[in-house]
Amino acid sequence: MRIVLTVPPGLPPATTVEMARHALQAAVAINRGIMAMQHVPRLYEAGLVFRREPNALIKKGIEQFDNCLQVLERGGGDCDDLVAYRVAELQHLGETGADLKIIWPKGTRRYHAQVRREDGTYEDPSRVLLLRELRAKGQRQ
């Protein structure tokens, strides 16, 4: 199952963030269901990479929220795909207080999703995977 939102142009950032939060919560629930039924490799052990949403979709205002099996099949995902995967993984492993956080970085035109760990710290799977990829290519961070 893939959740797809079409965001009308001109919506205030707070409205877009709220829509994304609801869709991400649904994606987390889908991933938890998948993880309860079958083995899914841990996000950071699956060889995945961070990849932005395709520009063709962004220009149309389309946002896709893929489940963990789709992310694995594709070999990576954007921030919301990776966060939905990671939050579901943490909850599946017993960290029931793990949740998602959505921010709208100043000066940008899009939101960004992160993981809020049970201990109150934040984790950014997109950044973790991007830095890992850069290190593997021998580039500086």
User: Mean pLDDT of residues grouped by 10 in the chain (141 residues)?
Assistant: 84 90 96 97 96 74 91 95 98 96 86 95 96 81 52
The maximal CA–CA distance of the chain, rounded, in angstroms, is 42
User: What pTM value is reported for the model?
Assistant: 0.91
Tell me, what's the pLDDT at 28? 97
Which residue blocks in 38-114 are alpha helix, DSSP H?
55-59, 68-74, 79-92
Determine, yes or no, domain membership for 141: no
Domain count, the chain: 1
Question: What is the spatial distance between Cα 83 and Cα 93, in angstroms, rounded to a whole number?
Answer: 15
Range of the domain at 107: 3-136
